[in-house]
Amino acid sequence: MLKWARRIFVFLLLGAVVNVALAWGCVFANGDVSRRDHLYRLSSDPDYFRVVSVTRRAGFSYLVESVPWRSSPKVRELLPFYPGTHWWRHWPMYQVQGHGHIGCGWPMHTFGATLIPDPDVAVVMASLSISPRLRGGLASDEKKVTNPRTGKIPMILPYLPLWRGFVTNSLFYAGLVGGAHALRAQWLRDRRVKRIQAGRCPACNHPRGTPPVCTECGEALPC
């Protein structure tokens, strides 16, 4: 019982490690978003959108919130939603102008960070270069953080856990690690049986003789 509990704990730990490594790996793979032109512009729609631009690749999302009005159905199509909720943090509607949200992780987002521009919305709208505060992330170059509305941001490593995604992903990878371990154990058992049946040492596959231990590796041989 204790052995099983310990084993499950190790699998969960490994699952969490794989989850974190993959989430941050996605950030490094995507690097500096500012040099890429993959922002979806949703402003062609006459309605106001809560989200104006989205960069989305496997395991990585960057979105900018704009004039808070109402969520568009288009936003729902484009963005990864957890069942019924946004993966990014909720802010009071009057505060979200120009907020940039960075999420990373796969299959769900594990970590999130938020770029919060100057509280003066007029300044944000007029300025080409501002210094937003970064919450929940590390920036590769703080000075390069400019207007998030233009998409010019440095590489940001989010570290605030999005618990729903963190737990789901960790369980997912723990399951994979556990499954791989079970397959390997089964393969080792099958190989041992086959070697014994073929009259060979189960450990090193050396043909066995009459002594009770293997002459090659010293393994005790079953009679």
Query: Which stretches of the chain bind Zn ion, using CB under 5 A?
Result: 201, 203-204, 206, 214, 216-217, 219
Cβ of residue 197: shortest distance to Zn ion, in angstroms?
15
Q: Which residue number, 160 or 203, has a Cβ lying nearer to Zn ion?
A: 203
Distance CA(143)–CA(12), nearest Å, equals: 38
CB count in 10 Å sphere of residue 74: 15
**Phi-psi group of 116: left, alpha or beta (phi > 0 → left; psi -120 to 50 → alpha; rest → beta):** beta
Is the peptide bond prior to 107 cis by the omega test (within 30 degrees of 0)?
yes
What is the H or E stretch that residue 160 is in?
Answer: strand 160-161
Q: Which residue number, 10 or 196, has a Cβ lying nearer to Zn ion?
A: 196
DSSP classification of residue 90: P
Distance CA(103)–CA(59), nearest Å, equals: 8
Cβ of residue 218: shortest distance to Zn ion, in angstroms?
7
Cβ of residue 36: shortest distance to Zn ion, in angstroms?
57
Q: Which residue number, 124 or 214, has a Cβ lying nearer to Zn ion?
A: 214
Q: Which residue number, 129 or 215, has a Cβ lying nearer to Zn ion?
A: 215
Residue from 178, 158, 188, 139 nearest 14 by CA: 178
Q: Which residue number, 95 or 215, has a Cβ lying nearer to Zn ion?
A: 215
Radius of gyration of the chain (CA): 26
Which tokens in the block code for residue 145?
């953080």
Cβ of residue 196: shortest distance to Zn ion, in angstroms?
12
Residue from 112, 116, 122 nearest 92 by CA: 116
Cβ of residue 208: shortest distance to Zn ion, in angstroms?
8
Q: Which residue number, 156 or 201, has a Cβ lying nearer to Zn ion?
A: 201
Cβ of residue 198: shortest distance to Zn ion, in angstroms?
13
